[in-house]
Amino acid sequence: GNHEDSAPCMARPRDFPIRRGCPFAPPEDYARLRTEEPVARVTLPTGREAWVVTRYEDVRELLADPRISADIRRANFPALGEGEQEIGARLRPFIRTDAPEHTRYRRMLLPEFTVRKTRAMRPAVQAIVDDLIDAMLASGGPVDFVPAYANAVSTSVICELLGIPKENLEFFRDVTRISGSRSSTAEQVAEALGGLFTLISDLVAQRQEQPRDDLLSKLVVDHLQTGDITLNELLSTVGITINAGRETSTNMLALSALLLIRRPELAQELRADPSLMPAAVDELLRVLSIADSIPLRVAARDIEISGHVIPADDGVIGLLAGANHDPEQFPDPGRVDFHRPDNHHVAFGYGMHQCIGQHLARLEMEVALGTLIRRIPTLRLAVPYEEVEFKHESATFGIERMPVTW
Ligand code: HEM
């Protein structure tokens, strides 16, 4: 019986995130938001309010606007979980910072994620993928595809890149599950990340003694030992890279595999013409848009988008799945079309914070999916489709559990 209940015009704006109906498409309501409410007010799980933007042009304009901030310390930063907000403000991962601070970290990492450096990783990624498929086939099935393949591929690739021993696979799984869940408390997130930082700092100490040919050694020799960054800064940078790269690729791989299981003619098209793989990966990234609400921002000044003013200090989220399914930009957006021209999707974000690992993610997807459909053409669900468990509560959309056989 409080004031808000009795005054409809004072009602809380609708809740966000909005649940997906079909796992292979954005929430149905995004289409209505795009046409009727392109800049919409929402209530977040933390109780804070924010704006969401859903049109392709608007999302790009927003994310490229120098007047927006990604600084998680701002009061109205629209984190989707209280744990994330609190720990983010404490640890300040560079994904949630602004220039010039952000620029410093980004410059440090970019040379390691170029097209050329990534291309050189192809044989290592292929070897990881082949080993995992050998193990899956040897097990005889059924297996849960998420830990056995999707997560194993993405974690092994990150470990390979950074030079982290593979014994830590299981450990990473827990860290990401806890730190990526909206329902985790600040204490739970802090504990999970604390474990991760201890592990990385042990490895850093080893590299200081004896550098090797890996990314961690490079950061230690070129940036830590020169005094460019402190140990804590190095830990948080490596930590965010591991977290950003694992959960996203895991979800993308699992959801893409499920889509190809449900649409065997698409898998057949790729087997018949493997040169379609790169275009197919980008089309899957667009259609599935798993990192939909990752770009969280605050308006540092008043910003006008589609004739609507977002006042300074308000939180705002550029919804990537909204943008990637905007029919003005992508005709018949729900259609999976490996021949789509000009597929300039924003699945990796846009502007200053655009994904640093995108070339690596594409390579992983291309090798892991391409090899999977070639080597296990009879891959199918080992349970009814209704029993596949999806991740509705995590920062990126994905699959929790998916028993498969062949
Ligand atoms: C940033 C998506 C894989 C590392 C981002 C952002 C998105 C994204 C949307 C922008 C966030 C924002 O604007 O606030 C994805 C997707 C992936 C993927 C969909 C896989 C399919 C990876 C991988 C790595 C990685 C494999 C590293 C190994 C990062 C980092 C940032 C980032 C470090 C922060 C960049 C910055 O703030 O300047 N990613 N990502 N990502 N991603 Fe990815």
* Amino acid present at 358: Q
Q: Who's near 335: CB < 8 A, 6+ residues apart? A: none
Closest CA to 228 of 130, 365, 101, 132: 101
User: From the CB of 325, is ligand 1 less than 6 Å away?
Assistant: no
Q: Which of 108, 151, 281, 348 maximizes ligand 1 atoms within 8 Å of its Cβ, making it the mutation to test the pocket?
A: 348
Q: DSSP class of residue 171?
A: H
User: From the CB of 347, is ligand 1 less than 6 Å away?
Assistant: yes
Asked whether the beta carbons of 259 and 167 are under 8 A apart, the reply is no
- Whether cis (ω within 30° of 0) applies to the bond prior to 100 is yes
- pLDDT tens string 52-91: 999 999 999 999 999 999 999 999 999 998 888 888 888 8
Quick one: pLDDT at residue 331?
98
Task: Report the separation in Å between the CA atom of 74 and the middle of ligand 1, taken as the mean of its atom positions.
Answer: 21
Residues annotated as catalytic (active site), given as ranges? 244, 247, 249, 355, 364
The half-sphere exposure of 69 on its side-chain side, counting CA atoms within 13 A, is 20
Q: Where would I find the H helices in 7-55?
A: 29-36
In this structure, the residue with its CA closest to atom 7 of ligand 1 is 348
Quick one: pLDDT at residue 163?
87
Percent of the chain with pLDDT over 70: 97
Quick one: pLDDT at residue 7?
53
The half-sphere exposure of 176 on its side-chain side, counting CA atoms within 13 A, is 27
Is the per-residue pLDDT at 336 higher than 90?
A: yes
pTM: 0.95
Closest CA to 301 of 293, 290, 309: 309
Mapping DSSP onto H, E and C, the string for 291-335 reads CCCCCEEEECCCEEECCEEECCCCEEEECHHHHHCCCCCCCCCCC
Q: DSSP class of residue 167?
A: G
CB neighbourhood size of 28 (10 A): 12
Q: Hey, is 15 helix, strand or coil?
A: strand
Asked whether the beta carbons of 53 and 322 are under 8 A apart, the reply is yes
- pLDDT tens string 134-151: 999 999 989 999 999 999
250 token code pair: 């895991």
ipTM score here? 0.99
